[in-house]
Amino acid sequence: MDYQRGTGHSREDFTAKKGVMTEETLRRLTYVEDEPDIRSITEFALKELGGYELDVCASGPEAIERTPGFNPDLIILDVMMPGMDGIETYKRLRAIPKLAATPIVFMTAKAMKHETDRYRALGAADVIAKPFDPIALPDRVREIWLQARKAAAAS
């Protein structure tokens, strides 16, 4: 296994100290995005560069149907989607007991401070602004997940 792929860390970073989470801890992501071009770039970044196992959904209803069975470690949701938007999808995913504590990240072009504050107030782990750097995305996702884990452990 390539411990540096997409993480910027060595094997020792993940295994040297007792209590440090292993790289394998964050493996499964659900990504919800209606725009095919953004979906393909993000999928490439997360799968090929980050090495994550990815379940890609093109809509909120598809995510509601598939995500519980996939049981991801983290969910990334587009905000602006036709039909069921990211906010409604978020609320419905949160209502599923199995997913109630799964960190959810919004990915959006609407990333003004008042908007990101609103998403965080809903309970989002964080917000990734579009456009984003595909090369940096896997590390950013891992950082968000680690912060969410620390916050959950502290509460």
Report the amino acid identity of residue 106. F
Kindly tell me if the per-residue pLDDT of 17 is higher than 60.
no
pLDDT in tens, 45-83: 999 999 999 999 999 999 999 999 999 999 999 999 999
Architecture field, domain 25-154: 3-Layer(aba) Sandwich (3.40)
**Full-model pTM:** 0.84
Mean pLDDT computed over 8-35: 61
pLDDT in tens, 97-126: 999 999 999 999 988 899 999 999 999 999
Domain positions in the chain: 25-154
Residue 110, pLDDT score: 82
Confidence at 8, pLDDT banded by 50, 70, 90: very low
Kindly tell me if the per-residue pLDDT of 40 is higher than 90.
yes
Mean pLDDT computed over 31-35: 98
The sheet carrying 104-108 orders its strands as 53-57, 28-32, 74-78, 104-108, 126-129
DSSP conformational letter for 38:
H
C-alpha separations of 92 from 5, 74, 125, 128, 135 in Å? 33, 15, 16, 21, 31
Kindly tell me if the per-residue pLDDT of 9 is higher than 70.
no
